[in-house]
Amino acid sequence: MRSVFREDHEMFREMARRFIENEIVPHLHEWEQAGIVPKSVWRKAGEVGLLCSTVPEEYGGAGGDFGHSAVMIEELARVNATAIGFTTHSEIVAPYIVAYGTEEQKQKWLPRMVSGEMIGVIAMSEPGVGSDLRSMRTSARRDGDHYVINGQKTFITNGGNADLMVTATKLDPNAKELTLICVEADRAGFSKGRLLEKIGLKGQDTSELFFDDVRVPAENRLGDENKGFGYLTHQLAWERTIIGIRAAASIEALIEDTLQYVRERQVFGKTVFDFQNTKFKLAECKAQATMLRVFVDDCLGKAMRGELSPEVGAMCKLMGSEMQGKVLDELLQLHGGYGFMSEYKISRAWVDARVARIYGGTSEIMKEIIARSL
């Protein structure tokens, strides 16, 4: 039994699982072929209260906590619905606006994000910059009551569907300080690039964003000038824990799928499960998954109590993503040649999991963060 969740969390899980099974799973292959999820799916999710569950009730949200967030993350991971960008929208973009937005900004954007009418993205990554955020080049020049933004972003999750971009900029190109400015997609001078072709997450609309003299009212600035880096890093512990939560749920679901497969698959007159090697491999996977589950739930509990530190968030991401890669590789091997076929969930999940060691900060960056606390 997992003590981190309450009864209301489990009720939310039932609703989320039902929606995912009915509205998402049957269409995943189609969306992966298209490289994007229809906006109508977002609106359906908003109608039943599955988006931005932690947004306060006065802005249209459910006023939930990180437990509700984790439930949605886990249920999407359970079916490997990596095409769905709800997590970035609900757990990264919306919390920035809740934490640093003005009352006017919250009233203007949050209800539309909760309903699925407006899809949010975090426009942070740039070509050639990688993890070194302070080296970004996107500029914002003050011009009276407006900012004029120029630059380019890449690897943007939900970029194809994006309606609102929380955009990291520099007021002084030679300085290291960042300023966050919210840019609506209908602003003159803003454009979206092509959907990027990836080895995994094929249904997720990852794209480039271009800002060419985009004029944005000064009231669209999120928080204070030159405080953006602090805002970004303050939220990173939870964002990295999300990756650990997703990894743990993915591993558990795929162990169950693999158990079913090896118990049914016949070879040399007996099931694959009857071989000692299979049992030993699955025993190791189960032991590792159990160890990860205990740690991830402890991290989730800390997040719910407001006690999650940057180094523990980094540990959660590091151990979750690394273990996911290793365990899924073992599970794929137990499928034999069928594990190499895209029709099997294990093959798609194996490829999709590779990016977990890269995005949200590479494993190497996680080690740096942990080492600083030693």
Mind telling me the catalytic residues?
239
What counts of helices (H) and strands (E) characterise the chain?
Answer: 12, 10
DSSP for 103-156?
Answer: HHHHHHHHHHHHHTSS-EEEE---TTTTT-GGG---EEEEETTEEEEEEEEEEE
CA angle 220, 213, 158 (to 5 degrees): 60
Query: What single DSSP character describes residue 83?
Result: T
Residue type, 62: A
**CA 268 vs CA 262, 271, 275, 279, 334: distances in Å:** 13, 8, 10, 16, 15
CB 158 within 8 A of CB 165: no
Q: Burial, 70: exposed, middle or buried (Cβ in 10 Å; 0-12, 13-18, 19+)?
A: buried
- The Cα 18–Cα 351 span in angstroms is 26
Q: Where are the beta strands (DSSP E) in the chain?
A: 120-123, 139-143, 146-156, 164-169, 179-184, 190-195, 207-217, 221-222, 266-267, 270-271
Token pair for 33: 């072929």
CB 153 within 8 A of CB 124: yes
Provide the β-strand partners of residue 363. none
Residues in the chain: 374
Under DSSP, is residue 271 helix (H, G, I), strand (E, B) or coil?
Answer: strand
